[in-house]
Amino acid sequence: MEAAFAELPLALFTTLAPMGAGAFIALALAFFTTTFTDDQVKKIDRMTLIPLVVVLVGFAASFFHLASPLHAAGVFAGIGSSPLSNEILVGSLFVVLALVYVILALAGKLSGAARKGLVAVVAVAAAVFACFTGMAYMMETIASWNSPLVVVQLLGFALLGGMPLGTLVLGLAGALPDALKGSFKTAGIVVAAAGAVLAIGGFCVQVMGVGGMENALVSGADLVADVTIYLAVAVASLVLAAAGTVAALLGKSPVAMAGFGAVMAVIGIFVARLVFYAVQLSVGLSF
């Protein structure tokens, strides 16, 4: 796992940014399924700063992966041809949309229809961003990463991590009880369950697939054996994240359980990302 910790900034980025983005998907579900009072909307908007900060902290962490943060603008030079450049472009667009939404919401400039339209756009951008984050790792030179399952798991992390975080926002704003009276509860459980299946399934199948790979220097089976305990911790944490989210949506100590689900999601996704980097296997010396 030593090599994985060398990628700590990227592990933090791919944990926090998709999770924070996913919270906007949860909030979109809430606004499309529930009619909140003006006071509740104002409180929700203030609490929406939480997932926005989570996203920004994730992006800030990614800068520490660069040899020189001052060269960050150079990443955009490969737009259209570089998966990494495409990821940063899509991520930047998502951040801009999220900032516009939060600023307009806090300023009280969003009517009901405008809010639904803009939050829907932000939610779609969040899902696209998560997918592009996964696509950035699909490269022919690294066999263990060159799989659509990487995209699947990143989208799953966004949904599974974003749902409890978004639910926590509603809970802290005092608006969750009203949301749970309507179809938000069912929609949220479906999203959390889908996220768990995509995240855990995509992650486990991708890592287990590495066990059948090797090159002249490294055996994929050895790499997987070395991270088995961490894989188990990641899966257990992700299962607990899903369980906490479902409990919150069923009205069982909703704020506490949403917070628990969010914490478990951070732990599970972060450990899963470390495992992902630990099983990196190049094809350069394959035989």
- Torsion, Cα 108 245 256 178, to 10 degrees, reads 50
Predicted local confidence at residue 77, as pLDDT: 55
The pLDDT assigned to 214 comes to: 78
User: What is the dihedral sign for C-alpha 58, 64, 68, 70?
Assistant: positive
Q: How many CA atoms lie within 13 Å of 65's alpha carbon, on the beta-carbon side? A: 18
Query: Which residues have a Cβ under 8 Å from the Cβ of 47 and sit 6 or more positions away?
Result: 169, 170, 172, 173
Cα 167 to Cα 261: distance, rounded to the nearest angstrom: 10
Q: Which two tokens stand for residue 155?
A: 């989208």
Q: How far apart are CA 90 and CA 243, in angstroms?
A: 31
Domains of the chain: 2-278 (1.20.1630)
- Tell me the C-alpha to C-alpha distance, in Å, between residue 60 and each of 13, 55, 89, 94, 196: 8, 9, 15, 15, 27
Instruction: Report pLDDT for 83.
Output: 64
Round to whole Å and give the CA distance between 173 and 42: 8
Closest CA to 184 of 192, 196, 194: 192
pLDDT at position 86 is: 79
Q: Which residues does the chain have with pLDDT short of 70? A: 1-6, 64-84, 284-287
CA distance 48 to 59: 17
| Amino acid of residue 176 | L
Indicate the SS3 state at residue 282.
Answer: strand
pTM: 0.92
